[in-house]
Amino acid sequence: MSERLRANAIRRAYTIEDLRQAAKNTLPKGVFDFYDGAAEDEDTLKNNALAFKKQLWRPHVLRDVSKVDPSGEVFGSKIGLPLAIGPTGGAGFGHPLADLALAKAAAQFNIPYCLSTSATTSIERLAEHAPGRLWFQAYVLSDQVHFWKLQERALSAGYEALMITVDLAVGGKRVKDHHNHFSLPFRFSDRNLIDMLSRPRWLFRMMRHGFPVMENLVGANAPKASAMKSLSGLGSSVGKNYDPSFDFDRLKEVRERWPKKLIVKGVQRGDDAAKLVELGVDLIVVSNHGGRQLDGAQASLEVLPEVLASVAGRVPVWVDGGIRHGGDMAKALSLGASGVLSGRATLYGAVAAAHEGAHQALSILSDEFLRTMQLCGVCRAKEFQRDLLQKQI
């Protein structure tokens, strides 16, 4: 498919599922499955989406919705939508410009973008070429010197907030990655070479730009072999550099050393959320890592009420996992979330067609969110309330 035809196909993408199919048609199976797949039987991945489908609308009618305000707020400042693009590692293996494309699209929609530790674009390069409301997500590396250095770099580059992901003590068992012989850092093998050759346009683009490197991990020391024995070789390659001993005391040290806003992502219990508030965290993200870690975990949306009750309004609570429609964003707000993170929904667009795809993904979510507001009789995003929903039994 020529670039012109591909661009036209992206413009004709009317849903996030259309963009997902575009990514599937563009990428080698192993690369697509890395983004699209999850751990083990993928039950948590499915449950995340199902939780939204079980929430049915009870819309108001006869409201003046000729003008609606979809804006949200985070850290005391207005954003275009109650949405941020969450951290997605290895995006450059789908398209070399994916990280930059996501950040630039986020800036156009006036929403934050969170760069992953395992991104293929460095902290500094992203800040230079895609200025906007930038957050940096720091994985808890076993190389503690490198872990602290990343935070110092993010602070020096002007990032607004630091996000610590806490649900990745070890890598989940991502069966599709094993079957596809896909790992990070990426390595060619007899098993995956045919797969790569099946997408010559993707392969040519990779060769032209140079195969991506997870730039923020360059120089980090790999964990000692003894620290990895418990993984038995069947876990994901993702997570092998991370520290399973990281705990509340270590997070407290992060809080003491990081002077700006601190976000913790990966919370799935109310009691843990309450401890995080006491520790001084500024924002909590209810998340199960999109089902990519612990299979069989509760859907994020199902956990949200418990976390909100424990936090009791002391800090904002956001949620991610399973969001594929603007209506899903609205359902999360109706159940009490202050905002949502987008992971796969925007990533599909970026890996399929870089900036045009990322922009189209946000356009789809924005249009659907506005439409849901009007059809539910809601004039401002913060007016979404629990009584607008009825859970299907």
Residue 289 is among the residues annotated as catalytic for this protein: yes
- Taking alpha carbons only, the member of 376, 291, 352, 288 closest to residue 16 is 352
Task: Return the biggest CA–CA distance within the chain.
Answer: 66
Beta carbons of 186 and 214 less than 8 angstroms apart:
no
- How does strand 134-138 pair with strand 261-267? unpaired
- CA torsion, ordered 330, 274, 265, 382, to nearest 10 deg: 20
Q: Is 78 exposed, middle or buried (0-12, 13-18, 19+ CB in 10 A)?
A: exposed
b/e map of 295-306 (b: 16 or more CB within 10 Å)?
bebbbbbbbbeb
- Taking alpha carbons only, the member of 29, 45, 36, 20 closest to residue 181 is 29
Cα distance from N-terminal residue to C-terminal residue, the chain: 45
- Taking alpha carbons only, the member of 251, 247, 273 closest to residue 337 is 273
Distance of CA 78 to the CA centre of its chain: 21
Both tokens of residue 381?
A: 């995003």
CB-CB neighbours of 75 under 10 Å:
16
User: What single-letter amino acid sits at 94?
Assistant: G
Concatenated DSSP letters of 187-210: ---HHHHHHHHT-HHHHHHHHHH-
β-partners of residue 210 are none
- How does strand 77-79 pair with strand 72-74? antiparallel
Q: Which of helix, strand or coil describes residue 380?
A: strand
- Taking alpha carbons only, the member of 235, 127, 111, 131 closest to residue 178 is 235
- How does strand 317-319 pair with strand 72-74? unpaired
In angstroms, rounded to a whole number, what is the distance separating the alpha carbons of residues 240 and 234?
Answer: 11
Kindly state the DSSP code that residue 69 receives in the 8-state scheme: B
Kindly state the DSSP code that residue 242 receives in the 8-state scheme: B
Q: Which one of 129, 178, 209, 289 is the catalytic residue?
A: 289
Cite the active site residues. 289
